[in-house]
Amino acid sequence: MKYLVVSDSHGDKAILQKLVTAYAGKVDLMLHCGDSELPVTDEVFKYFKVVRGNCDYDLDLQDEQFFDRGQDKILLVHGHLLGVGFGLGGLQAKMDELGANMAFFGHTHQLGVEVINGKLLLNPGSISYPRGKYTAIGGTFAIVETFADENGKQIEVQYYDRELNAIPELQVTFNGK
C-alpha cells in the first residue's frame, strides 16, 4: 500500500491542489494531519482524509481517524491533543488503545520518522511552514509504502519537497518485523 502524508499547510491550498493533481489515483490514500485551515467541505478533501488541528476552526473536522488497510492499521491525528510537542508517549498510548501499527501526525512542523516496537510513527513536517533541522528544504511531505517480501513486512519512507522532488538523504526503509 502506498500513502501520501502531508500536514500543516496553514491556508496554503495551492500546494494541496498540486499534490492532488500529481498523486490522486496513484496512491492508496492521501492523508492530511491537520492545520489545513480549510473547512471540511473544501474540494481538496474529496481527495485527502483529514483531521482537525489546533488552528482549524471547523468543528465538523474529526480529531482522529483510523484506517484499517489489511496489515496497516493507521491512526491519523494532528497530535496537539496527545502532546506530541513533548514526546510520543501519548501517541503511542492512543495507538495501543486502537490497535494501530502506524501513526501519521503533525503539529510540530518538524519532520521525523521512527519505528518503536514495530510501529511506525511519522511526521511529514509542515509543507508550508517548516521548522527545525530541515527548514531549508522549504516544506516537505512523505510517501510511505508498505509491502511484504521474504524478509517480512517492509516500510519504505521517502520525503519530498514542494517541487515534488524526492530528497535523497530523507529516505529510509524499515523492516516491520
Other beta carbons within 10 angstroms of residue 18's beta carbon come to: 15
The 3 state secondary structure assigned to 6-25 is: ECCCCCCHHHHHHHHHHHCC
Residue number, 67 or 105, with CB nearest to Mn ion = 105
| Cell numbers standing for residue 18 | 498540486
Q: What is the DSSP string of 37-50?
A: -S-TTSGGGGTEEE
Least distance from C-beta 7 to Mn ion, angstroms?
7
Say how many residues touch Mn ion, by CB under 5 A. 2
Distance, in Å, from the CA atom of 28 to the CA atom of 38, rounded to the nearest integer, reads 23
What is the CA angle 59-22-54, rounded to 5? 20
Least distance from C-beta 69 to Mn ion, angstroms?
26
Interface residue with Mn ion among 3, 5, 6, 8 (CB under 5 A) is 8
Residue nearest to Mn ion (CB): 35
Residue number, 101 or 141, with CB nearest to Mn ion = 141
Nearest to 120 by CA among 176, 40, 172: 176
Contact of 84 with 76, CB cutoff 8 Å: no
Least distance from C-beta 55 to Mn ion, angstroms?
6
Least distance from C-beta 126 to Mn ion, angstroms?
6
x-or-dash string of contact with Mn ion, 18-57, rule CB under 5 A: -----------------x----------------------
Kindly indicate which of the ranges 4-12, 15-23, 93-101, 139-147 contains the residues binding Mn ion, using the contact rule CB under 5 A.
4-12
What ranges in 24-120 are assigned the alpha helix state H?
89-98
Least distance from C-beta 137 to Mn ion, angstroms?
17
| Cell numbers standing for residue 7 | 500536514
Q: Does 12 contact Mn ion by CB under 5 A?
A: no
x-or-dash string of contact with Mn ion, 55-84, rule CB under 5 A: ------------------------------
Residues lying near Mn ion in the complex (CB under 5 A): 8, 35
